[in-house]
Amino acid sequence: MKTILVTGGAGFIGSAVVRHIINETAHKAVNVDKLTYAGNLESLKNISSDSRYQFEQVDICDGNELKRVFKQYQPDIIMHLAAESHVDRSIDGPGEFIQTNIVGTYTLLEQARAYWTELEPAKKRGFRFHHISTDEVYGDLPHPEQGNDKDLPLFTETTPYAPSSPYSASKASSDHLVRSWQRTYGLPTLITNCSNNYGPYHFPEKLIPLIILNALEGKPLPVYGNGSQIRDWLYVEDHARALVLVATQGQIAETYNIGGHNEKQNIEVVNTICELLEELVPTKPEGVKQYKDLVTYVQDRAGHDLRYAIDAGKIHRELDWKPQESFKSGIRKTVQWYLANHEWCVHVQDGSYQRERLGNY
């Protein structure tokens, strides 16, 4: 049994990782989360009473608190997911992204290095620092509409970095920090870069939950530009399984790209959700004949990348991982989850569960 410290464990991907650790492994999980707007403890309600789970409300920029947490819990593995991650927010206010994603990662690396240096030899040899990143650090790829309809390239672990937004630039910076701490200090690190995640417990400002919830309320379904931007969609529980696999079995100093093998245009995603809602919720809001009628094209995002696509061959070859969900199965599960968990959506937006729960800390 290992103790895995997960930063950002109350966020969308982080909570999936914590749930996977508690439900599918024998390891312990220590969730370190500042609890910003996107972190919600209700996403961990079902495992919160497990004796192998602990929560610490800590900002990764607070070195003294991190030092205390390391000393108290003596982690064997650090899985670093804490990050500001919304592109639009990074365009409107990049400062928080620089602070959390760059300064926070630096602070965590330094505290991890100090902790690791003092470990006894056997525990030191087994220690790992797993940094979780995004495919957005690579920039974008050629799009079929540009006349490139055959043999389109994919992002690999050696694709040069070319970030487009303040968010992706801050994540690229954090990746470089992690690699340099491994090269310079010998800190045993690993990095993963993932494609777009979707699934249960996704904060409602993101594309898929936003479309689901807006459609149910008869509100416009905003689509940037003409909706032709292509993303590779990865079901979050498949991603969590991959992350724990890399953290426990991956090779030190290696990078693994994790993708869902599901390239879809944004408008395809929106239309698929509308079709599922036609089937699952045929009774529509007043004045709505078809959910697709709510699609509203809006001004494109500044610096919007055209296409992301992951080559996940390395993690399949070396660690025998591949996604279990197709987009067809995963998106149906996702829509059904939001239909069955309206209360969670309300609580995460008004903060009511959070306020009640934090009374215990």
- The pLDDT tens digits for 313-358 are 999 999 999 999 999 999 999 999 999 998 888 877 776 555 555 5
pLDDT, residue 341, reads: 93
Residue burial 311-343, b: 16+ Cβ < 10 Å; e: rest: bbebbbeebebebebebeebbbebbebbeeeee
What is the mean predicted confidence (pLDDT) over 144-149?
Answer: 69
What is the mean predicted confidence (pLDDT) over 276-296?
Answer: 96
Q: Hunting for tokens 């006349």 — which residue is that?
A: 147
Both structure tokens of 10? 């109350």
CB atoms within 10 A of CB 238: 22
Q: Tell me the pLDDT tens digit for each residue of 39-74.
A: 889 999 999 999 999 999 999 999 999 999 999 999
Catalytic residues: 135-136, 167
Q: What percent of the chain has pLDDT over 70?
A: 96
How many separate domains does the chain show?
1
Residue 219 has pLDDT above 90, yes or no: yes
Q: Predicted confidence band at 306 (pLDDT cuts at 50, 70, 90)?
A: confident
Residue 157 belongs to domain with CATH number: 3.40.50.720
Per the model's pLDDT, the better-predicted residue between 143 and 5 turns out to be 5
pLDDT, residue 226, reads: 92
Determine the angle formed by the axes of helices 105-117 and 63-73, rounding to 10 degrees.
40
Distance CA 324, CA 357 (A): 33
Cα angle 166-264-11, degrees, rounded to a multiple of 5? 50
Q: How far is CA 350 from the centre of its chain?
A: 22
| Closest by CA position to 12, among listed 324, 237, 243 | 237
Q: Tell me the pLDDT tens digit for each residue of 267-282.
A: 999 999 999 999 999 9
Q: How far is CA 209 from the centre of its chain?
A: 14
Q: What letter does residue 21 receive in the DSSP assignment?
A: H
Both structure tokens of 36? 């910003």
| Residue 220 structural domain | 3-360
Distance CA 330, CA 74 (A): 36
Q: Tell me the pLDDT tens digit for each residue of 90-135.
A: 898 899 999 999 999 999 999 999 999 999 999 999 999 999 999 9
Residue 170 has pLDDT above 90, yes or no: yes
Residue 359 has pLDDT above 80, yes or no: no
Residue 9 has pLDDT above 90, yes or no: yes
Q: What percent of the chain has pLDDT over 90?
A: 83
pLDDT, residue 356, reads: 58
With contact defined as beta carbons under 8 Å apart, do 155 and 141 qualify? yes
| Bridge partners, residue 230, by sequence | 265, 307
pLDDT, residue 348, reads: 78
- Report the chain's mean pLDDT, rounded to a whole number: 93
Residue 361 has pLDDT above 50, yes or no: no
What is the mean predicted confidence (pLDDT) over 17-46?
Answer: 95
pLDDT, residue 150, reads: 66
Distance CA 267, CA 228 (A): 6
What is the mean predicted confidence (pLDDT) over 32-45?
Answer: 91
Q: How far is CA 186 from the centre of its chain?
A: 27
Q: Predicted confidence band at 203 (pLDDT cuts at 50, 70, 90)?
A: confident
Distance CA 319, CA 317 (A): 6
Per the model's pLDDT, the better-predicted residue between 84 and 22 turns out to be 22
Q: What letter does residue 111 receive in the DSSP assignment?
A: H
Distance CA 254, CA 192 (A): 9
